[in-house]
Structure 1
Amino acid sequence: MQRTLRSALLAGFAITLAPMLAGCQMAAAPAPLAASPIASNDPLAHPAPGEWTSDGRDYTAQRYSPLTQINAGNIGELGLAWYADLDTYRGVEATPLYADGVLYNTLAWNITTAYDARTGAVLWTYDPQVPREFGRLACCEPVSRGLALHGDKVIIATLDGRLIALDRTTGRPIWTTRTFPLHSGYAYSITGAPRVFGDKVVVGQSGGDLGVRGFVSAYDVETGAEVWKFYLTPSPTDTPDGAASDPVNAMMRATWSDEGLWRQLGGGANPWDAIAYDPALNLVYVGTGNAVPHSRYYRSNDEGDNLFVCSIVALDAATGAYRWHYQMNPGEEWDWTCTQSMIAADLEIGGRTRQVLMQAPKNGFFYVLDRATGEFIQAGAHVFQNWNEGFDAHGRPITSEAVRYTEEPHLVAPGPGGAHNWFPMAFSPRTGLAYFPAYQSAFVLARQPGWTPQPMRSNSGWGFVSTGEAAATRARLTQQANALEKAWLTAWDPVANRIAWQVELPRHGNGGAMVTASDIVFAGTTRQTFTAFDARSGRQLWEYPTQSAPVAGAISYELDGVQYIAINAGWGGGAAQIERGAGIEMPRAPARLLVFRLGGTAQLPPLPANASAPPEPPPLRASEATVARGALLFQQTCAVCHGQNAIGGVKDLRHMTAETHAAFTRIVLEGLLLDRGMASFADILSREDAEAIHGYLIARANEDWGR
């Protein structure tokens, strides 16, 4: 079997394609692009070399710093200048921003702080008081991936759907607007960074797994007034929404079955992270998420491409009007999102200069598209994958029937964690390479027989328990999936369409990349280090022990002629939940913001003492039937935060203390730990349900005790 997998892996790497026709569908001929309102001196389009004023630094989102003071010759002198304790063990995923001597940062629950960038002194802190019950709506902890700056404003997008403009000097609110309504059964949340493009703030939202209809919306940066909204799945009532998406609603609708649960659950396609912009073309690029339910059988009667799930959609920035799209995975049903970093560059491909948009989404391929037209140029696999059999003459992927799972278990690669998840990607115009953390994985998927959706739960339609011969098949395929797992920092050549180099790293969850003009790539690793690599060869140049794995993207800024590097080190989020293995968290410190400079002499305090082993679990007293029922309820309700098979996650529930076991039902039904983000589930779980889940967790703890 290993020989077969290696052969398939090599075959995946070998896919290199000549430029092809567009893999997108167009509505009626679009109107000419409106002239860009962006002035040549727009500081967000052209920040000063020492500033980092937006998530990807500028509108190209290359995460490329032109600073060169820190280089391969002196990087051994790089030391800690200052740090800020962030007082949380939650995942910290934000890219900080820097302008005019001030560093801006945001944490879980959207708590935002401005620091003196020289010393780390706190200038102000703003807490939007996000209701803690929203923690149960966030797929992967109540994280925030960043902020936006515009003129005198810092703009935050809160987990509970508010867009708030703060005064940059004082941190006081200037305006607040709501991006989605709040009412029972609505499962929207926001975890991505808002983006300012010219005079508009553009923001997406999360929640597709729980059952919502994805959309992206734009707001006036001065007032917060909504300018346009574009829905990314068709109207469930087949009536106009009064939105910018109305003219293409029929085009979307034609790709969905008349049968299926998409109308009830919204279809998904939530744009929960990357949104990009080209000021010359005046186009906003929206990366969309997975479908809901995940299973296309239940969602759309196993029919149709289901636009616009797992796509890049280009919209007119002024009006929100549709311009083009490219769909990476027609009929997506594997939890593969296309919300990952989108980077603009001009590259010489096929003998001519192409204006390209690049993305490495979860499905294991690196894509190069024409950013003006959406034309598919080329794509190549960077990990083992078994879903793609090539691309047709229009750039449409040819999906293998081997991954169209049924009630029988199927091996699908990559797994739901994705070959490249949200962790930021960087690109250097000097080396011509893109840099991102890659994860090779597979997962065993099967459809759950007789599945029906449940409100406010992860509505996948997947089955996680098999019996009889199917159980033996699942066990065999799971062993194969486990054997495939590897993690790297990958450098990809988007012109040659191949891997340039890779550095193997210990496990999934390595942080985003940032690259400088001195040809250094900075990235956090699961060794709990912040590390520098040679951008041309991958050779390690420097490493600093951070006491918690940095998953966020770093920035570089210049102040008083000194170059600084800043990174959040806060292990958590989806990486912590998906990570396989023993499921015992690494000893780690609370999250910190770390800032480095040449000659820095600050020191971190010693790592706090950490228990060397989990507590012994209580004896199992629940019946086999109760444990089986609890396993299903856990996968539907708890696994998004507490890990598949109760391994890892925000809190590894196999390792509960005796006190937590005693209070388990109250925690689940009464919200005893609401202040930590563990809301009550009494609206969807009965006492019998909670006790069944508890029985399953005790069974899992006893299975794995002593590992």
Structure 2
Amino acid sequence: MGLKVEEALAEEPSISAVAIADATRGINSERISSQTDRNWLSYGRDYHEQRFSRLSQVNDGNVDRLGMAWYFDTNYSRGLEATPIIVDGVMFVTGNWSEVYALNAITGELIWHYDPKVPKQWGKMACCDVVNRGVALYQGKVFVGTLDARLVALEASTGRVLWDVKTADTSEYPYTITGAPRAAKGKVFIGNGGAEFGARGFVSAYDVDSGDLVWRFFTVPRNPEDEQENEILVKAAETWTGQWWKNGGGGTVWDSIVYDPELDQLYIGVGNGSPWNRRIRSPDGGDNLFLSSIVALDPDTGAYIWHFQETPKETWDYTATQPIMLADMNWQGKVRKVIWHAPKNGFFFIIDREDGQLLSAEPFSKVNWASHYNLATGRPVENPGMDYSAEGKYVSPSPYGAHSWHPMSYHPDTGLVYIPTMEIEYFFEENTNDHKWGQWNTNTNYATDVMGSDQEDQRVIREVTNGFLTAWNPHEQNYAWRVERELAWNGGTLATAGNLVFQGRGDGQFEALDAITGASLWSYKTNAGVIGSPVTYMVDGEQYIAIPVGWGGILALTYGLELLNGYEPPPSRILAFKIGGQQLLPPLKQASPRPEPPVRITDDAEIIEHGAKLYAEYCGRCHGQFVVSNGRLPDLRRRPKQTYAAFDTVVLEGGLAALGMPGFKDVLSSEDAHALKAYLIDAANDDWEQKGVTGVLVENK
């Protein structure tokens, strides 16, 4: 607890490899489907992915006595998006750079650690931080997807590598994997990311024992001059125009993959187009199948069964990759097997999962791109001009989504689905410039139009980025209650039979709420923003609640919120709580004094403006817009003078590539580097003179 990984590995594991092997070898499709609540065996607990537990030892009557039982420090201090997997007192969880940790779920002691040694320069190709959402556990093996697009099988008892396969050609497109694999029927399923960089999406199934590829389903067609991989892609190609294949098409399956044991179907959520702008991607129109769709496949062969396209002609980064939840519900007097889905586009969908029929689509957040869905056609009715075809438009939801990857949960006793929700307006404007390999491919001007350079700009952005926890009633198709959050970017939810909903918050609080009313019943200061997903489990008669804590992900990086306010970021951690827990977190460390910046190198406004645009295009999604970092990556306003002296070596030549800072000489010239340097030094001097942005204080209590 609190030991560095290398120190912990020097100690004898508290749970033997034999015990772990005995606990994990029998985990298969049947076990995951019928598991008891004391374990958490799959990403969404079981295949329905409702994230509800019947454990009630911790409940609304005693949750105020919840205290920390243990904490575990990972190797880094960036965003943790994982859902821990727990079986018989052993926890398997991922951290930054796709590392895997096996922990004693009672004490937090490290049992084993696996580092896939992802090349740090590949972080440049990750659209949204070097995060990972977790592992799959099946037949004594732990499966993890890596940032450099590998799928690795580990021996659950020891962490030993059993097989390691490359799932995508990263020389052709900069593919990545951040999503959690799913396992069923002797296969492990995995997708990938990379649509922003021009990748063509697909999902793959591998044999759990050998790592052999069993099947692959591509989500968008390729060049019609080449033979399509199957007949359904021949039909899909009819919904595309122009030369979409030159930019890959997009449609990556970067998050939700759900197996349905009742219907023996596999559902995948398909991502956005590449580029985003549909008039560039498919200039003569077309729905562009299977972008922004839920697709049902045969889990044994990968054969197409049905699809429902949530956002035809997608042009706003409205992915359908958000968590897919399976349920049975009474719909108009008949019990239907349905999918509940709350994707980026802001509508809550009820879809018959036997045939893909749309039953309902109602907005759960602020929406202005469409007025409603026509249930007869299953299509949205777009509001005129919101596709930014004639002029730039403020559109809701933003590309961050009304709901992103953060898992939602369902409580069968309240009948409510608890959705981490965002309301952010985003300015879109058409851009027809060509993109280069390794550069975002959107054909919009979204980056420069939200760019700013001073404290007031950042405050305004914070005011228009709103976050909520929404309790949605799928039966009545409206929300029962909403709780506003300090920040827009918050963690997934967990519902329990103790009449509780748990959620980690971006402002550094882990909270339990009344599942019926939304009243706050308990909270804990975690000393870091929380975006990960809580789980619950029971060992030796005690119920635990565990949550990964680490501030990061695309919105936390891009908006550069200063949560620490003068402290160094703590290690990203796994925290576990139980009734009567007494463990305390170590105090935060004071940050080093801010160095005085070098003298401004120019007062030429055109040079500085050019540097600002370059920063927004290439730097802001990691180091933060307005040159305000969230503390996990260097704040470029507050670097030593030596940094600027070696600027070209670092920024153009990749002098720090081994540490995760790649070179950009393939897209930036020496003149560009000079302008970027001038802008950063200008921002550093402004920050020095203004004493910096205060931000949101995370109190160390």
* Matched ranges for 1:195-344 at <5 A: 195-242=182-229, 246-257=230-241, 259-260=242-243, 262-301=244-283, 303-344=285-326
| Change in CA separation of 1:682 and 1:368 when aligned onto 2, cut-off 3 Å | same
Alignment partner of 1:559 out of 532, 539, 546: 539
When normalised by structure 1's length, the TM-score is 0.88
Q: Does residue 582 of structure 2 align to residue 601 of structure 1?
A: yes
Aligned to 2:371: 389
Moved more, 569-578 or 499-508: 569-578
Moved more, 696-705 or 567-576: 696-705
Quote how far apart the aligned CAs of 1:132 are: 1.1
Aligned to 1:83: 71
Mapped partners of 1:689, 1:514: distance in 2: 47
Mapped partners of 1:517, 1:80: distance in 2: 21
Contact 1:94 1:146 in 2 (8 A): yes
Quote how far apart the aligned CAs of 1:442 are: 0.5
* Matched ranges for 1:170-185 at <5 A: 170-183=158-171, 185=172
Aligned to 1:17: none
* Matched ranges for 1:620-635 at <5 A: 621=602, 623-635=604-616
Quote how far apart the aligned CAs of 1:622 are: 6.2
Quote how far apart the aligned CAs of 1:484 are: 4.2
Q: Does residue 103 of structure 2 align to residue 115 of structure 1?
A: yes
Quote how far apart the aligned CAs of 1:51 are: 0.5
Mapped partners of 1:580, 1:169: distance in 2: 39
Quote how far apart the aligned CAs of 1:620 are: 5.1
Q: After superposition, what is the alpha-carbon deviation per residue over 1:159-179, rounded to whole angstroms, capped at 9, x for unaligned?
A: 111111111111101122221
| Change in CA separation of 1:582 and 1:528 when aligned onto 2, cut-off 3 Å | closer
Q: Does residue 156 of structure 2 align to residue 156 of structure 1?
A: no
* Matched ranges for 1:453-472 at <5 A: 453-463=435-445
Contact 2:558 2:620 in 1 (8 A): no
Q: Does residue 411 of structure 2 align to residue 424 of structure 1?
A: no
Q: After superposition, what is the alpha-carbon deviation per residue over 1:451-487, rounded to whole angstroms, capped at 9, x for unaligned?
A: 11211100111125889xx999xxxx99998764321
Contact 2:71 2:108 in 1 (8 A): yes
Q: After superposition, what is the alpha-carbon deviation per residue over 1:11-60, rounded to whole angstroms, capped at 9, x for unaligned?
A: xxxxxxxxxxxxxxxxxxxxxxxxxxx99971111222200011101000
SS at match of 1:600: coil
| Change in CA separation of 1:610 and 1:388 when aligned onto 2, cut-off 3 Å | same
Amino acid at match of 2:620: A
Alignment partner of 1:519 out of 486, 495, 499: 499
SS at match of 1:140: coil
* Matched ranges for 1:184-199 at <5 A: 185-199=172-186
Amino acid at match of 2:647: F
Contact 2:29 2:184 in 1 (8 A): no
Q: After superposition, what is the alpha-carbon deviation per residue over 1:85-110, rounded to whole angstroms, capped at 9, x for unaligned?
A: 11311111111110122111111111
| Change in CA separation of 1:483 and 1:553 when aligned onto 2, cut-off 3 Å | closer
Amino acid at match of 2:662: A
Q: Does residue 490 of structure 2 align to residue 506 of structure 1?
A: no
| Change in CA separation of 1:125 and 1:404 when aligned onto 2, cut-off 3 Å | same
Quote how far apart the aligned CAs of 1:646 are: 4.2
Alignment partner of 1:95 out of 74, 83, 88: 83
Contact 2:173 2:197 in 1 (8 A): no
Contact 2:507 2:530 in 1 (8 A): no
Contact 1:388 1:399 in 2 (8 A): yes
Aligned to 2:58: 70
Moved more, 407-416 or 353-362: 407-416
Structure 2's unaligned 5+ residue stretches are 1-25, 694-701
Aligned to 2:551: 571
Structure 1's unaligned 5+ residue stretches are 1-37
SS at match of 1:234: coil
Contact 1:282 1:318 in 2 (8 A): no
Contact 2:81 2:532 in 1 (8 A): yes
Aligned to 2:570: 589
Quote how far apart the aligned CAs of 1:405 are: 0.8
Mapped partners of 1:687, 1:584: distance in 2: 35
Amino acid at match of 1:502: R
When normalised by structure 2's length, the TM-score is 0.89
Quote how far apart the aligned CAs of 1:263 are: 1.6
Q: Which has the higher contact order (CA 8 A, sep 6+)?
A: 1
Q: After superposition, what is the alpha-carbon deviation per residue over 1:98-153, rounded to whole angstroms, capped at 9, x for unaligned?
A: 01221111111111111111212211111111111211111111111100000211
Contact 1:617 1:655 in 2 (8 A): no
Contact 2:224 2:237 in 1 (8 A): no
Alignment partner of 1:362 out of 330, 344, 364: 344
Quote how far apart the aligned CAs of 1:553 are: 0.6
Q: After superposition, what is the alpha-carbon deviation per residue over 1:642-672, rounded to whole angstroms, capped at 9, x for unaligned?
A: 3445454654434444333333322212323
Mapped partners of 2:488, 2:365: distance in 1: 13
Mapped partners of 1:179, 1:357: distance in 2: 28
Mapped partners of 2:674, 2:102: distance in 1: 45
Aligned to 1:27: none
Percent identity, aligned pairs only? 40
Q: After superposition, what is the alpha-carbon deviation per residue over 1:342-374, rounded to whole angstroms, capped at 9, x for unaligned?
A: 101111222221211111111112111111111
Contact 2:447 2:616 in 1 (8 A): no
Quote how far apart the aligned CAs of 1:531 are: 0.6
Quote how far apart the aligned CAs of 1:633 are: 3.2
Mapped partners of 1:659, 1:292: distance in 2: 39
Amino acid at match of 1:514: L
Quote how far apart the aligned CAs of 1:578 are: 4.0
Mapped partners of 1:465, 1:99: distance in 2: 44
Moved more, 72-81 or 479-488: 479-488
Superposed CA RMSD: 2.7
Quote how far apart the aligned CAs of 1:402 are: 2.5
Aligned to 1:25: none
| Change in CA separation of 1:83 and 1:40 when aligned onto 2, cut-off 3 Å | closer
Q: Does residue 660 of structure 2 align to residue 660 of structure 1?
A: no
Quote how far apart the aligned CAs of 1:273 are: 0.9
Contact 2:485 2:505 in 1 (8 A): yes
Mapped partners of 1:240, 1:446: distance in 2: 36
Moved more, 357-366 or 209-218: 357-366
Alignment partner of 2:522 out of 542, 561, 568: 542
SS at match of 2:398: coil
Q: After superposition, what is the alpha-carbon deviation per residue over 1:546-589, rounded to whole angstroms, capped at 9, x for unaligned?
A: 00112111111111111111111001111312447779878542
Q: Does residue 112 of structure 2 align to residue 132 of structure 1?
A: no
